[in-house]
Structure 1
């Protein structure tokens, strides 16, 4: 063990497990950001175009949004937790009392911790900032939109979908920034 640590310190090479963790953390953050943003950039505009150009009823559109929402709610948080856990492993591995601290860039432990927090920030952002919009859209998905009878309903639902796309796009920034901070943490 001492020989392996000495060799690592004298050759300035990181152990493969650490490098793999870096790849997982950075890839996870990029995947999260891209997946979340794709809903705002591709899915919501497609749903709205389906309504506007092809007369797909807003009742159908809100139900499709609800399916997208539930799918994301079930799949994204586990990846966020895995990614944040990986960044926390990297932070723990480079803390001051470790052999890696001698060859890791200065401050990398703190930066990896910040990366983990930024990746996990999607969860409180969803609950704290997006909850009202999410709840209103889920309500419309459940009860349906009566089109033509009350133009206010249609305007509200379209407005909610647009607002959700903007808020979700902002939410995509958290793991993106977390990944950038994680990248900086690993730069010499």
Structure 2
């Protein structure tokens, strides 16, 4: 690292900072924001009537349902998504641009460092096709439900949807699935961070 030009180091560090912000924000969404949205109803502490549904049963799917109604859940997800779609691409592009700039500033003898920085830039930009490819159907379905909720419509899973499709998921399950996809997307930036860090210590 001592022989690495100063502008390469600065570009790499700025790229690392931008990518770390993207990674940390998406990690927070998947592990903090989404679980908070999906909190289930608290127990009242009162005896359960004999004819009531056993919500505490491990086989009861209703015990996994959040307290928030499906339409409001979809709108809450939409709010998080709208914030992320404005800031996420900015940090991904900034990180990628910094690393490509740093790679171009390296001499021809530093091929290994160049390749690592280009790989970091590629992983950073990979979130774009991942979002518009892998996550598109899930995003579109949740957006459709959020838009329906804004018009006062109750729109959850479609009864006639084919099993296994996003349309067949209940809203809370679809948001859980989205959080997993979001985590996978964040891991692309973890790979980018690792690649860029390796280029600095060579």
> Taking structure 1 as the reference length, what is the TM-score of the superposition?
0.80
Identify if the C-alpha distance between structure 1 residues 182 and 150 changes in structure 2 by more than 3 Å, giving closer, same or farther. Answer: closer
Q: Which residue of 2 aligns with 1:61?
A: 73
Matched with 1:21 is: 11
Please show how residues 102-181 of structure 1 align to structure 2 within 5 Å.
104=110, 106-144=111-149, 146=154, 156-181=170-195
Cα gap change, 1:132/1:19 in structure 2, threshold over 3 Å: closer, same or farther? same
Contact 2:30-2:179 within 8 A present in 1 as well: yes
Shift of 1:154: 10
Query: Which residue of structure 2 aligns with residue 71 of structure 1?
Result: 83
Q: Distance in 2 between matches of 1:43 and 1:32?
A: 15
- Structure 1 residue runs without a partner (length 5+): 1-11
- Which residue of structure 2 lines up, in the alignment, with residue 92 of structure 1? 104
Aligned equivalents of 2:104 and 2:121: distance in 1? Answer: 12
Per-residue Cα deviation, 1:115-171 (whole angstroms, up to 9, x for no partner): 000011111100000000000001111113638x98969961111101100000000
For the structure 1 residues 150 and 21, does the alpha-carbon distance in structure 2 shift closer, same or farther, using more than 3 Å as the test? closer
- Coordinate RMSD, CA, aligned: 2.4
Matched pairs, number? 168
Distance 1:71 1:15 in 2: 36
- Kindly tell me: are residues 150 and 174 of structure 1, through their superposed partners in 2, closer, same or farther at Cα, counting changes over 3 Å? closer
Partners of 1:58 and 1:154 within 8 A in 2? no
Output the TM-score relative to the length of structure 2: 0.75
| Aligned partner of residue 135 in structure 2, secondary structure | helix
Contact 1:30 1:179 in 2 (8 A): yes
Question: SS of the counterpart of 1:182?
Answer: helix
Contact 2:148-2:154 at 8 Å conserved across structures: no
Following superposition, which runs of at least 4 residues in structure 1 exceed 6 angstroms of deviation? Answer: 149-154
Shift of residue 56, structure 1, vs aligned partner: 2.4
